[in-house]
Amino acid sequence: MKKQTREIIERVYHHQRKRIITITIILCIILCILMALSMMLGNTFYSLNTVIQSLLYENIPGASFTVNTLRFPRMLAGVFCGIAFGMAGNTFQKMLGNPLASPDIIGVTSGASTVAVFCILILHWSGNAVSIGAILGGMLVAFLIYRLSQGIGSNNGRMILIGLGFQAFLQAVISYIILRAAQYDVANALRWLSGSLNNVTIEEAVRIVIVVIFMGSSLVYLSRRLMLLQLGEDFATTLGLNIQRTKLLLIVNAIILSAVATSISGPIAAVSFLSGPIITRICKGNQANMLQAGLMGAILVLAGDLVAQNLLPARYPVGIITGILGAPYLLLMLFRMNHKGG
Amino acid sequence: MRKKNVYFLFVILSLCLIVVSALSILYGSKSVDMETLFDALFTNKESFSISVVQARIPRTLFGILAGASLGVSGCLMQSITRNPIADPSILGINTGASLFVVVGIAFFSISSPSQYIWLGFTGAILTAILVYGIASVGQSGATPIKLALAGAATSMALMSLVNTIMLPNSQVMDSFRFWQTGSIGGAKWNMILVLLPYFILGLLLSFYLSSSLNTLALGDELATSLGINSKKVRAMAAFAGVLLCGATTALAGPIAFVGLMVPHIMRLLIGSNMHYLLPLSALGGSILLLGADIIGRVIASPAELEVGIITAILGAPVFIYIVRKVKIRSL
Amino acid sequence: MTDCLYAEHLSSGYGNHTIVKDVDLVLPEHKISVIIGSNGCGKSTLLKTLCKLVLPSNGAVYLNNKDIHKYPSKALAKNLGLMPQSPIVPEGITVADLVARGRFPYRQPLKGMSKEDYQIVSEAMDMMGISDLADRCVDELSGGQRQRVWLALALAQDTDILLLDEPTTFLDISYQIEILDLLTELNQKKGTTIAMVLHDINLSARYADYIFAISNGKLLAHGTPEEIINEEIIREVYGLNSKIIKDPITQRPMIIPIGKCK
């Protein structure tokens, strides 16, 4: 073998890795800036200094309550729900091999939010019970989608379509529950239909942080296997991958992430759907980019929330802003296709 | 399927429609009896019950028109895309129509139903083009799965826009629910009059095209060699389909799955001849929509559940059934 | 030490439908074997059963006297590789990335590529003549180039036995020869045992050291090309009347089809 060959190839790999590391660092910096901004901005502006002081040391009259009790849990929940949605979406999209097949489109998130809505509005539960209910709801829907798509020449495509059916069904059920629960409370309805960070408590924020640490790291651990799945089941099996177990692990982790996040913030629209594809476009190549997709999710949620809270005439729930981002993304896809000439 | 059986089915469905219409007028949070119905229809008596009936008549008529439009529209879309799961709601076209009307109301203070229709129609066409375009990205063209996903994603994005516009406009807020999930509760006589010309135009156009569509089902190449201008036929059928669902959505909001369920049930009963399928889908659509509307009034009594919620709950299992059953080429 | 793959009383299929029926076979070590048979006779299913993709309904496949289903997945993957008929090209993947995926069974979780990984990936790409394409997107490549990339992936897996399911389909004649020449080179240089399904009888006769003829799920005959490619067996396997002549270049048997058996 020529010696250059190896040099060329190592250079290709190093180049790719360097690119991804740079991107990750940039994402982290953007996220930090957004975190700081969302602690500083609001009805009253507090300087970074005040924010840090009231978080770490002293009780500053006025600032401490706003910063520690209102803004901090909101920011924390925004970051970690974003990571959860971003990672869960990325996992499903890569696993099903379709950039549109994220859990918020194929019914899994709706399963979680249906149960969450039911527990909160009808049973008046709160706290961990709701999260567990939401996880079970998401799992049940995923299981049903899986079962219904088996045994009929099963393939990913059919699974996605059945998921779309569940999505439509569950959205209708959510509307029904909201309508029956009380008088039609629009703010509440929007929270459960498009997601919002209003009234997040510190307990809820801590819950999502813990879930993200555990499930998120297992997804990062599983990413190499996820990428192997993309070669098709035959190739993946002969390369020594246990397909069924890998898929099960991926699905369970992704569902727990998105279900717990949903039980806290509602299904923040389009974050799952957008994070993965944006990161894939930026990073190029074909990597799992699990961590990066999570960061992107957090950036989308925080940026959306900042815009929704500060820049618009009315205070919108964050999900409406992120949901709108879906439209330009789809247009961009269309534009790219025309550019390529069909 | 023999002709005799088709006529038999036609008669049965017509009878069903009459029964459902009668039920739709009689039942609700305040039920009335047959006598009152006849009084309301044929005499000049006045009472509370009679005025209830009189309010329900336009709603029922509107439901018949809307259901028939959606049924025919779904039938056309399934035929021209050769896609068993095409439906104005799955393709996101209804949401597009909804968005345009909401924009018109909020920013251009449009308030007459005839203007709604034009907006709804424009929105429906643009969304149809957008969704079809997005789904055509990639190698295998617009497969059923890509169309459905593109429709769902577009719907989500457009619904967010609808919500954004609705939220700060309290005067529009009253009709918020109606734009989110379709309802025929607010139907008035003037809406029926506005809808009627578009309804008739769309229906006539689709009946006129039915034999061409039958030929087109054999494949573009064969159809062309049989003397059909397949592009023109497809464009005209798409126009008729979008006209029907756009006009309906502009007045009733997005109503899901009627266009999916009805043509499939009819196809199971009489096969895929468009000559019979189109009129029967129209009848079936009316029956389904009125039936769903009645269910919504009965189970949520004394309040009402929008018909769009009921059709989604009924339609989603049917959708899943179709996906499981139909052999979908190259997903 | 080399690996020896054999099957005993092997039956398999999908659901209740048995396709491969009671096959006994031993893959000759360090040789190129070709499995031939008519459409739908079960040759692909047989190949997939040999590498664990299809579960045997009866009998078993053994690698070094141990049932392949008793191996841990990764351990088996270090010994037995497969190139499927139509692998999926992940979107936007580069050649270097795709080939490196073949190292999966050897890599430690969360760690980068080791020195050895780089060495073997580079060798595989060099051998397939695709090192210039390393940073290109696989989507942009021609059919023949793509096939070489897939082969490089299978090579990076570094197994002693390599199974291939119709590696020459969708390729024109020059690429078919190119791929088969590469496989021969691999077999000669590294002693890899190769077994593949091929449709073209003449190419099979030309490149195979050993041929397995399958008919209706059963192993009808096996032996060297000279033993197998004769008018009688061709008639039984394909239902085809033919005349066998000697290839003037390689002296291997060559088939001239005459017509379908009446």
Domains by residue range for chain A, with CATH: 79-339 (1.10.3470.10)
Instruction: Find where tokens 């990413």 sit.
Output: A223
Render pLDDT for B48-62 as a digit per residue (tens, 0 to 9).
777 777 778 888 999
Determine contact, residues B20/B291, Cβ cutoff 8 Å. yes
Mutate to test the interface with C, among A1, A7, A8, A9 (most CBs of C within 10 A): A9
* A146 and B CB contact within 8 Å: no
Q: Chains with ≥3 Cβ pairs under 8 A against A?
A: B, C
For residue B175, what pLDDT is reported? 54
Determine, for residues C109 and A224 on separate chains, whether the beta-carbon distance falls below 8 Å. Answer: yes
Render pLDDT for B12-46 as a digit per residue (tens, 0 to 9).
999 999 999 988 888 766 677 777 777 766 777 76
Q: Which one-letter DSSP state was computed for residue C25?
A: E
Please determine, for the modelled complex, whether the ipTM score is greater than 0.90: no
Q: How far are the Cα atoms of A172, B92, B262, B289, C232 from residue B306, in angstroms, in the given order?
A: 10, 19, 19, 11, 74
Tokens standing for B295? 């269910």
Chain B residues touching A157 at Cβ < 8 A: 143, 145, 328, 331
What span, in angstroms and rounded, lies between the C-alpha atoms of B122 and A60?
56
Determine contact, residues C137/C146, Cβ cutoff 8 Å. no
What span, in angstroms and rounded, lies between the C-alpha atoms of B233 and A240?
53
Chain A residues touching B316 at Cβ < 8 A: 165-166, 168-169, 172
Q: How far are the Cα atoms of C61, C64, C79, C112 from residue C71, in angstroms, in the given order?
A: 11, 11, 10, 26
Tokens standing for B108? 């251009």
List all residues of chain B from 147 to 166 with a beta carbon under 8 Å from chain A. Answer: 148-150, 152-154, 156-161, 163-164
What number of other Cβ atoms are within 10 A of residue A152's Cβ?
Answer: 13
Long-range CB pairs of C132-135 (<8 Å, 24+ gap) are C132/A8, C133/C95, C134/A8, C134/A9, C134/A12, C134/C94, C134/C95, C134/C96, C135/A12, C135/A15, C135/C94, C135/C95, C135/C96
Determine contact, residues B63/B252, Cβ cutoff 8 Å. no
- Alpha-carbon distance B259 to nearest alpha carbon in chain A (angstroms): 14
Ramachandran region, residue A77 (left: φ > 0; alpha: ψ -120 to 50; beta: rest): alpha
Determine, for residues C90 and A231 on separate chains, whether the beta-carbon distance falls below 8 Å. Answer: yes
Determine contact, residues C110/C100, Cβ cutoff 8 Å. no
Q: Which of A228, A235, A237 lies nearest to residue C52, judging by beta carbons?
A: A237
For residue C1, what pLDDT is reported? 45
- Alpha-carbon distance B201 to nearest alpha carbon in chain A (angstroms): 31
For residue A151, what pLDDT is reported? 63
Tokens standing for C97? 């990335």
Determine, for residues C109 and A235 on separate chains, whether the beta-carbon distance falls below 8 Å. Answer: no
What CATH number has the domain spanning C3-86+158-255? 3.40.50.300
What number of other Cβ atoms are within 10 A of residue B181's Cβ?
Answer: 23
What span, in angstroms and rounded, lies between the C-alpha atoms of B326 and B281?
19
What span, in angstroms and rounded, lies between the C-alpha atoms of A105 and A163?
8
For residue C221, the cross-strand partners are: C213
| pLDDT of B178 strictly over 70 | no
Q: Which one-letter DSSP state was computed for residue C137?
A: B
For residue B328, what pLDDT is reported? 53
Determine contact, residues B124/B246, Cβ cutoff 8 Å. yes
Determine contact, residues B220/B38, Cβ cutoff 8 Å. no
* Torsion sign over Cα B163, A99, A333, A32: positive
Domain that holds residue B155: 3-330
| pLDDT of B83 strictly over 90 | no
Determine contact, residues B96/B154, Cβ cutoff 8 Å. yes
Range with top average pLDDT, A210-214, B148-152, B270-274, C57-61: A210-214
State how far Cα A102 lies from the chain centre. Answer: 9
CA angle B33, B38, B40 (to 5 degrees): 95
Q: Which of C52, C86, C135 lies nearest to residue A12, judging by beta carbons?
A: C135
- Alpha helices (runs of H) in C128-198, residue ranges in sequence order: 143-156, 173-190
For residue C240, the cross-strand partners are: C260
- What one-character-per-residue DSSP string does A240-264 give? T--HHHHHHHHHHHHHHHHHHHHHH
What number of other Cβ atoms are within 10 A of residue B49's Cβ?
Answer: 18
The domain tally of chain B equals 1
Tokens standing for B173? 């807020």
Chain A residues touching C93 at Cβ < 8 A: 285-286
First to last CA, chain A: 42
- Interface list for chain A against chain C, based on CB atoms closer than 8 Å: 1-2, 5-6, 8-10, 12-13, 15-17, 97, 221, 224, 227-228, 230-232, 234-235, 237-242, 280, 284-287
Determine, for residues A240 and C73 on separate chains, whether the beta-carbon distance falls below 8 Å. Answer: yes
Mutate to test the interface with A, among B107, B326, B331 (most CBs of A within 10 A): B331
For residue A23, what pLDDT is reported? 94
pLDDT less than 50: residues of chain C: 1
Ranges assigned E (strand) in C40-115: 56-63, 66-67, 80-83
* A157 and B CB contact within 8 Å: yes
What span, in angstroms and rounded, lies between the C-alpha atoms of C105 and C115?
15
Residues belonging to chain B: 331
- Alpha-carbon distance C127 to nearest alpha carbon in chain A (angstroms): 8
For residue C144, which of C122, C176, C166, C96 has the smallest C-alpha distance? C176
Q: Encode chain B in three state secondary structure.
A: CCHHHHHHHHHHHHHHHHHHHHHHHHCCCCCCCHHHHHHHHHCCCCCHHHHHHHHHHHHHHHHHHHHHHHHHHHHHHHHHHCCCCCCCCCCCHHHHHHHHHHHHHHHCCCCCHHHHHHHHHHHHHHHHHHHHHHHCCCCCCCCHHHHHHHHHHHHHHHHHHHHHHHCCCHHHHCCHHHHHCCCCCCCCHHHHHHHHHHHHHHHHHHHHHHHHHHHHCCCHHHHHHCCCCHHHHHHHHHHHHHHHHHHHHHHHCCCCCHHHHHHHHHHHHHCCCHHHHHHHHHHHHHHHHHHHHHHHHHHCCCCCCCHHHHHHHHHHHHHHHHHHHCCCCCC
For residue B165, what pLDDT is reported? 79
Tokens standing for B226? 């049989």
Chain B residues touching A184 at Cβ < 8 A: 177
Chain A residues touching B324 at Cβ < 8 A: 148-149, 152, 158, 162
| pLDDT of B171 strictly over 70 | no
* Torsion sign over Cα A298, A299, A305, A308: negative
Question: In the predicted model, what is the mean pLDDT of residues B220-244?
Answer: 86
Q: Chains with ≥3 Cβ pairs under 8 A against B?
A: A
Determine, for residues A285 and C88 on separate chains, whether the beta-carbon distance falls below 8 Å. Answer: no
Long-range CB pairs of B290-295 (<8 Å, 24+ gap) are B290/B17, B290/B20, B290/B21, B290/B23, B290/B24, B290/B60, B290/B63, B290/B64, B290/B67, B291/B20, B293/B24, B293/B59, B293/B63, B293/B184, B294/B20, B294/B23, B294/B24, B294/B27
Q: Which of A105, A155, A194 lies nearest to residue B153, judging by beta carbons?
A: A105
Tally C-beta pairs within 8 A across A and C: 113
Instruction: Find where tokens 């039938």 sit.
Output: B75
Ranges assigned E (strand) in C37-120: 56-63, 66-67, 80-83
For residue C210, the cross-strand partners are: C33
Instruction: Find where tokens 């059909």 sit.
Output: B228
Domain positions in chain C: 3-86+158-255
Q: Chains with ≥3 Cβ pairs under 8 A against C?
A: A
What span, in angstroms and rounded, lies between the C-alpha atoms of A258 and A98?
18
Chain B residues touching A316 at Cβ < 8 A: 164, 167
Task: Report the CATH number that the domain containing residue B266 is assigned in CATH.
Answer: 1.10.3470.10
Mutate to test the interface with A, among C14, C94, C150 (most CBs of A within 10 A): C94
| pLDDT of B170 strictly over 60 | no
What number of other Cβ atoms are within 10 A of residue C83's Cβ?
Answer: 23
For residue B281, which of B224, B313, B319, B241 has the smallest C-alpha distance? B241
pLDDT digit string (tens) for chain A, length 342 residues: 566 777 878 888 888 889 899 999 999 999 999 999 999 988 888 888 888 888 887 777 777 888 888 899 999 999 999 999 999 999 999 888 878 788 888 888 899 989 988 888 888 887 788 888 989 999 999 899 888 877 655 567 788 888 888 988 998 888 788 777 765 555 666 667 778 888 888 888 999 999 999 999 999 999 989 988 888 888 888 888 888 899 999 999 999 999 999 988 888 888 998 998 899 888 877 788 899 999 999 999 999 999 988 888 777 888 888 888 877 887 776 666 555 433
Determine, for residues A241 and C134 on separate chains, whether the beta-carbon distance falls below 8 Å. Answer: no
For residue C255, the cross-strand partners are: C244
Tokens standing for C161? 């036995």
Report the chain C residue with the minimal C-alpha distance to residue A10: C118
Q: Which helix (H) or strand (E) holds C157?
A: none
For residue C6, the cross-strand partners are: C26, C62
Tally C-beta pairs within 8 A across A and B: 158
B181 vs A273, which has greater pLDDT? A273
Instruction: Name the amino acid, one letter, at A168.
Output: A
Cβ-based neighbours of C16, under 8 Å, separated by 6 or more: none
- Alpha-carbon distance B268 to nearest alpha carbon in chain A (angstroms): 20
What span, in angstroms and rounded, lies between the C-alpha atoms of C23 and A162?
40
Chain A residues touching B326 at Cβ < 8 A: none
| pLDDT of B324 strictly over 60 | yes
Mutate to test the interface with A, among B98, B163, B177 (most CBs of A within 10 A): B163
Instruction: Find where tokens 């499995």 sit.
Output: C35
